[in-house]
Amino acid sequence: MSTSDMNETVQPLAMTTHASDVSGDSRAARDQRNDLWFKRSMFGAAMLVLLLLASIAASTLWGGGLAFKTFGFGFITSTEWDAVNNHFGALVPIYGTLVTSFLALLIAVPVSFGIAIFLTEVAPPWLRMPVASAVELLAGIPSIIYGMWGLFVFGPFMAEYLSPWINDYLGALPFIGSLFQGPPLGIGMLTAGIVLAIMITPFITSVMHEVFRSVPTQLKESAYALGSTTWEVVWDIVLPYTRSAVVGGVFLGLGRALGETMAVTFVLGNAQQFSASLLMPSSSIASVIANEFSEAYTDLHRSALIALGFLLFIVTFVVLALARLMLMRLSRKEGL
Over residues 18-46, mean pLDDT: 79
**pLDDT for 241:** 86
Mean pLDDT of 160-175: 89
Cα dihedral 115, 323, 260, 67, rounded to 10, equals 170
**DSSP summary character for residue 298:** S
Task: Kindly calculate the radius of gyration of the chain based on its CA atoms and give it in whole angstroms.
Answer: 29
Report the CATH number of the 68-335 domain.
1.10.3720.10
From residue 116, alpha-carbon distances to 32, 204, 219, 234, 246 in Å are 45, 9, 18, 11, 11
pTM value?
Answer: 0.84
Strands of 81-189, DSSP E: 81-82, 87-88
pLDDT digits (tens, 9 = 90+) for 187-244: 999 999 999 999 999 999 999 998 998 888 888 888 888 888 888 888 888 888 888 8
Coil, strand or helix at 87:
strand
Q: What pLDDT, on the 0 to 100 scale, is given for residue 115? A: 93
Residue 152: the pLDDT is 94
The pLDDT of residue 20: 57
Question: What contacts 43, CB < 8 A, 6 or more positions away?
Answer: none
Q: Residue 12: CA atoms inside 13 Å, Cβ hemisphere, count? A: 4
Task: Tell me the pLDDT tens digit for each residue of 268-290.
Answer: 988 888 888 999 999 999 999 99
- Indicate if the alpha-carbon torsion angle 66, 69, 70, 74 is positive or negative: positive
Q: Which residues contact 217 (CB under 8 A, 6 or more apart)?
A: none
At 336 the pLDDT is 47
211 backbone dihedrals φ, ψ, rounded to 5° = -75, -30
Percent of the chain with pLDDT over 70: 91
Is residue 8 predicted with pLDDT exceeding 60? no
CA 179 to CA 78: how far, in whole Å?
A: 22
First-to-last C-alpha distance (Å) of the chain: 71
d(C-alpha 230, C-alpha 235), whole Å: 9
